Structure 1
């Protein structure tokens, strides 16, 4: 079972896609990170994963619990 499971997660600001169709699965004990240039959506992705901002589309579950609704 995944601790974090993300399917088709997207965040748009008007016509700008900050994150588009993200798929991610993190298992217990697994370590991961985000690398990319400025404006790639790293900070937005972390804010989505921590539920600081709501996604425009997609699902996010943490320990099997829906974190979007």
Structure 2
């Protein structure tokens, strides 16, 4: 399957505190994806990384085969 969103091993830290730890998910073409979690779970942080608004600490985030990783 062709992935349009691919996230592997996403790690994000703020001031030495880990906000995301080893986040992994894929979204295929024509698939629906729902992003749920409790307050403070890292949903907004993950979306900001995917949009390029935050630099990720470690991992890979790709949208339509472009993206960045460390």
Query: What's the TM-score, normalizing by structure 1?
Result: 0.87
Measure, in 2, the Cα distance between the counterparts of 1:68 and 1:58.
9
Measure, in 2, the Cα distance between the counterparts of 1:2 and 1:20.
22
Q: Which structure 2 residue ranges, 5 or more long, are not aligned?
A: none
Q: Which structure 1 residue ranges, 5 or more long, are not aligned?
A: none
Measure, in 2, the Cα distance between the counterparts of 1:34 and 1:26.
11
Aligned residues: 68
Query: What's the TM-score, normalizing by structure 2?
Result: 0.86
Stretches of 4+ aligned residues off by more than 4 angstroms: none
State the SS of the aligned residue for 2:44. helix
Q: Cα RMSD over matched residues?
A: 1.3
